[in-house]
Structure 1
Amino acid sequence: MHQPIKPTVKFTLGDFAPAFVEYSEKILFGDLWRREELSLRDRSMITVSALVSTGSLNQLEYHLHLAKENGVTKNELIEAIIHLSFYIG
């Protein structure tokens, strides 16, 4: 069984948007992240790449930490960001 993913959206938006928190926890991290067609490691690399590419830096710190928990090394994350920088400007 996979380790639990601890989303932080409850702490940042819980009082303001409880429905969003519920969708994030149940659908995004409960269902989507648990699909077996991709490993948690691969999902983390894809997510970090998407966040860097779109400039979504407010979520990046959380997902960098999660990527490390999911088996991505610090050096792999650095290399991915360097590689992306030539494609995203």
Structure 2
Amino acid sequence: MGKFDDLPEARRRGLEKMEEVYGFEMTDGEGDFFALTADHLFGDIWQRPGLSDRDRRLLLIGMLAGQGAADVLGIQIPAAHAKGELDDEALREIVVFLSHYAGWPQGARISTVVEETIARAKRKQG
């Protein structure tokens, strides 16, 4: 029996997908915002056919870069790297590419997140 089995189907699917996307353990939350995030965004939108998780992640990283959302990139980039969706080379190429569209200062912030992600992964490998 899974840890979310006692929850409604939409919430269970959403929380399981959130764990898969983010790479860390999720718990159920309260309120309309959490419900929309878990049940709709992750229970439905992240599971639609037509795009892979990697495709969705690339779109999200580009959009976040354009918004200057380095805090959320600090979640998305390590998660994509840990899941094997984006390797070291791909992450570094994303930095070069996005720097030209999102601006050099934003590219520098993304580069910091990328290099910290790569260094952390290398330390874990020993």
Shorter-normalised TM-score: what interval?
0.7 to 0.9
Percent identity over paired residues: 28
Segments of 4+ in structure 1 off by > 4 A? none
Residues 1-89 of structure 1 correspond to what in structure 2 (within 5 A)? 4-6=17-19, 18-68=31-81, 69=83, 71-89=85-103
CA distance in 2 between partners of 1:29 and 1:84 (Å): 26
Contact (CA 8 Å) 1:41, 1:70: kept in 2 or not?
no
Higher share in helix: 2
- Structure 1 residue 56, shift from structure 2 partner: 1.0
TM-score, normalization by structure 1: 0.75
- Structure 1 residue 85, shift from structure 2 partner: 0.6
In the alignment, structure 1 segments of 5+ residues that lack a partner are: none
In the other structure, the counterpart of 2:123 is: none
Alignment deviations for residues 48-84 of structure 1 (CA, whole Å, 9 cap, x no partner): 1111111012211111122221622132122112111
In the alignment, structure 2 segments of 5+ residues that lack a partner are: 1-15, 104-126
TM-score, normalization by structure 2: 0.55
Contact (CA 8 Å) 2:57, 2:80: kept in 1 or not?
yes
Contact (CA 8 Å) 1:49, 1:81: kept in 2 or not?
no
Give 1 or 2 for the bigger CA radius of gyration. 2
CA distance in 1 between partners of 2:79 and 2:98 (Å): 19
Cα RMSD over matched residues? 2.4
